Amino acid sequence: MSEVADTYEQFLDHVRQLSYVGDAGGLLRWDQQVMMPDGGTPARTKQQSALSTLQHDLLTDDELAGYLDDLEEASLDPDQQAVVREVRREHERARKVPRDLVERISEATSEALPVWEQAREEDDFETYAPVLEELVELRREYAEAIDPDRDPYEVLFEEFEPYLGLDTAERVLERLRDELVPLIDDIASSDVTQPRPFEGTYDVEAQEALVRDALDVVGFDWDRGRLDTSAHPFTSGTQFDARITTRFDPEKPLDSLSSTIHEFGHASYALGLPDDEYGTPLGEARDLTVHESQSRLWENHVARSQPFWEHILPTVEEYLGVEASPADAYGAANRVYDDNLIRVEADELTYHMHIVLRFEIERDLISGDLDVQDVPQVWNDKMEEYLGIRPETDAEGCLQDIHWTNGTFGYFPTYSLGSVLAAQLYDAADEAIGPIEADIREGEFDALYDWMTENVHSHGKRYRTGDLVEEATGEPYNADHFIDYVTEKYGALYDL
């Protein structure tokens, strides 16, 4: 073995240990939201802090720095270069963050979770406000440590999407706002109303049986995955163990179905990553724009399509006792709401106004242009401006999301960025293996899943985001496919 090859193998061993520690922390976070007893927070806070500190130490230590220096000018193949590039980026950012700050952030987010859950349940923002103030301050401190001369929000955004750039996010969100608001207004003025065959109350156990069957239909690998419930649906895991959660409302059975398929999309990405690259960047997802593209593709382009409802409706009728035509069920699944306050229950169009609202608020919080105490008022004002509705409670308003409690400021734009990418990827897949709708109608999803695995999942972090998009679709990242998709779909639904 050459000296370079030996150095690279030692480097990989170090990187794998770093990855394993991070995955262990992910399991503890999953457990805290799903299984842990209410009184477990004090111990879990210390456990999480210890793992976060260990992970930070492994990422920033001199041994790793030495490996990276030795490999800087080495002759490496493209995959090895990609691994070094990704680790170097994380290493250089992390070295700028003091160890004690990492500990404080980990402890603060762990302690914040039960406070948020109780505040949301009791509609009590005042109890949550000091926690949010601490989290905002910690994230400002974190961004300043990485680069004191740049916009702190831009630094935080790069935690979740390091390569597309905040300017791209702002441009996409601005275009969505400019093009979707008139479309939403036209729908509101339309004489067409979508049917509502799912009005009523539905047993939660029946809903769970339905979504488990739906996961069977789309091909969820139960040998490497599981489904649970949590206050906020999420996905956690690796290519060997992908765990999804959902939640159930007796009056909203479509929401649990769509959120479960959404999380399946995330899990499909994790499970599609190459097994033999586990522990390295080549076995990790390419950040959140791409991750969100997978969840939104399965939720919207698949599970909200008419062919899907033609296939799944007998199963829905079996569990929920609903009698409806596929066309009516399709219309109900795609009804544009004029009164929806909750992001995860929003329709495909107004959803993005929820994202714009959160993006603007968290950006102003991090910049210091908005005080935490003013968040409920600003939230409600923006909700009224963008969606024409006003929350009556903070539980329906600024307390509904878990993201700030997790300290993930800069995350929200990736939801819309991912939705845009989902349309671009779907069109590329349809051109290559289509018509996909014919497969969906027959309940056949292997071709779509295999295309996504070959063109997206299997690459891990081999490519930067923009390069991955071009490799998969043959063109740069753009919003044209999404705008065309929603214009055609909702134009037909609402006779525009």
Amino acid at 138: L
Catalytic residue among 154, 263, 292, 310: 263
Q: Per-residue confidence at 105, pLDDT binned at 50, 70, 90?
A: very high
Q: Per-residue confidence at 160, pLDDT binned at 50, 70, 90?
A: very high
Mention every residue, 6+ apart, whose C-beta is less than 8 A from residue 258.
299, 303, 304, 333
141: annotated active-site residue? no
DSSP 299: I
Confidence check: pLDDT of 311 > 70: yes
Return the closest-CA partner of residue 181 out of 386, 416, 376.
Answer: 386
- Element holding 218 (H helix, E strand): helix 204-218
Confidence check: pLDDT of 102 > 70: yes
Position 485 scores a pLDDT of 98
Confidence check: pLDDT of 178 > 80: yes
CA–CA dist 458, 456 (Å, integer): 6
Q: pLDDT for 361-371, tens place per residue?
A: 999 999 999 99
For the whole prediction, is pTM greater than 0.85? yes
Contact status, residue 162 vs residue 89, Cβ threshold 8 Å: yes
Contact status, residue 103 vs residue 142, Cβ threshold 8 Å: no
Percent helix, percent strand, percent coil in the chain, to nearest 5: 70, 5, 30
Contact status, residue 261 vs residue 299, Cβ threshold 8 Å: yes
Position 345 scores a pLDDT of 86
Cα distances (angstroms) measured from residue 185 to each of 172, 344, 386, 391, 494: 20, 21, 11, 20, 12
Structure-token pair, residue 240: 């060997």
Q: pLDDT for 111-146, tens place per residue?
A: 999 999 999 999 999 999 999 999 999 999 999 999
Cα distances (angstroms) measured from residue 433 to each of 193, 213, 478: 34, 26, 21
Structure-token pair, residue 152: 């702190």
Contact status, residue 335 vs residue 196, Cβ threshold 8 Å: yes
Position 1 scores a pLDDT of 66
Structure-token pair, residue 9: 């193998």
Q: pLDDT for 13-66, tens place per residue?
A: 999 999 999 999 999 999 999 999 999 999 999 999 999 999 999 999 999 999
The pLDDT of 151-167, averaged and rounded, is: 97
Q: What percent of the chain has pLDDT over 90?
A: 96
Position 337 scores a pLDDT of 86
Sequence ranges of the domains in the chain: 3-150, 166-493
Phi, psi of 252 (to 5 degrees): -135, 70
Confidence check: pLDDT of 223 > 80: yes
CA–CA dist 358, 364 (Å, integer): 10
Fold of 166-493: Neurolysin; domain 3 (1.10.1370)
Average pLDDT, the chain: 96
